[in-house]
Amino acid sequence: MNLGKIVAMVRCAVQCGCWNAVKMYTPSLNPTALTRLNLSSLRHPLWVSKDKFDEFIFREVVLQGEYDQDCIRSMRGARFIIDAGAHIGLATVQFATWFPEARIVSIEPSEKNFAVLCRNAAPYPNVSVIHGALWSRNTALEIENRDSNSTGFRVREATSGTIVGVTIPEVMRRFGSAEIDLLKMDIEGTEKEIFEASTEEWLPKTRTICIELHDWLRSGCAYAFYSKIHSRRFNQYQPPPGLVDIVQFT
């Protein structure tokens, strides 16, 4: 076990209890098998594998609290949340615990990730899941890099694609919401398509955006995002380790 894993195991023991740390970080002959964790910070058990990329997301979201920020937790009256690029649902179940009155729509293109997302989301009646991806228009998509690790899948248009590409306005219409209280986007560069397209129908109705910008994958992601929000007043937060920008409109 490397030093990073040892530190993570200790942090997990402190934050989540020793038994959960043992279950999560004890070496396994089958690292893709799911482990059931009972965390006091969540309303229901969490399922996660020991795969190094799933463990990385667990460390980032659960142990380091990437989304567990005052500017999010203090939101009042949240009713509609979109988790785009939900992976296995770690942020989703946090949002569902913090905002039990909100409808949370979790969107994930990977079949394998989606299966675990469904398992994690199932006990939360306020969570709906979509096997798909946000896109600039409603169309069929496919994963373009199937050999990627579980955190890095990218999508592209394909006439025979089995992944549903949906726009943000379509998600709002489907779930009957006129506003978005929280839009979380970790979509591996597709944010460029989203913000280069028209945003007039939904962006003025959005209160908070948590976004990971992937300019290292696709040049112009940050420009597309900031060029659309620059005319609105907002506060910006960048919690450590600095991968996510949280923009809260005022």
DSSP strand pairing (103-108 vs 127-134): parallel
pLDDT recorded at residue 54: 93
Lowest mean pLDDT among 112-116, 148-152, 202-206: 148-152
- Sign of the CA dihedral 56, 59, 62, 67? negative
Distance of CA 172 to the CA centre of its chain: 17
> Do 75 and 207 contact (CB within 8 A), yes or no?
yes
Burial class of residue 117, CB neighbours in 10 A (0-12, 13-18, 19+): buried
pLDDT, position 149: 87
What is the structure's pLDDT at 220?
Answer: 97
CA distance 240 to 67: 10
Name all domains of the chain by residue range, CATH numbers in brackets. 1-64 (no CATH), 67-249 (3.40.50.150)
pLDDT digits (tens, 9 = 90+) for 48-93: 999 999 999 999 999 999 999 999 999 989 999 999 999 999 999 9
Cis before 239? omega within 30: no
Compute the residue count for the chain.
Answer: 250
Percent of the chain's residues with pLDDT above 90: 88
pLDDT given at position 225? 98
Q: What is the pLDDT of residues 93-148, one digit of tens each?
A: 999 999 999 999 999 999 999 999 999 999 999 999 999 999 999 999 999 998 88
The pLDDT-based confidence of 163 (bands split at 50, 70, 90) is very high
Residue 23 binned pLDDT confidence (cut-offs 50, 70, 90) = very high
* pLDDT, mean of residues 227-242: 93
Residue 192 confidence (pLDDT): 97
At residue 126, the pLDDT reads: 98
pLDDT at 183: 98
pLDDT at residue 2, rounded to an integer: 79
Res 1 pLDDT > 80: no
Look at residue 242 in the predicted model and tell me its pLDDT. Answer: 83
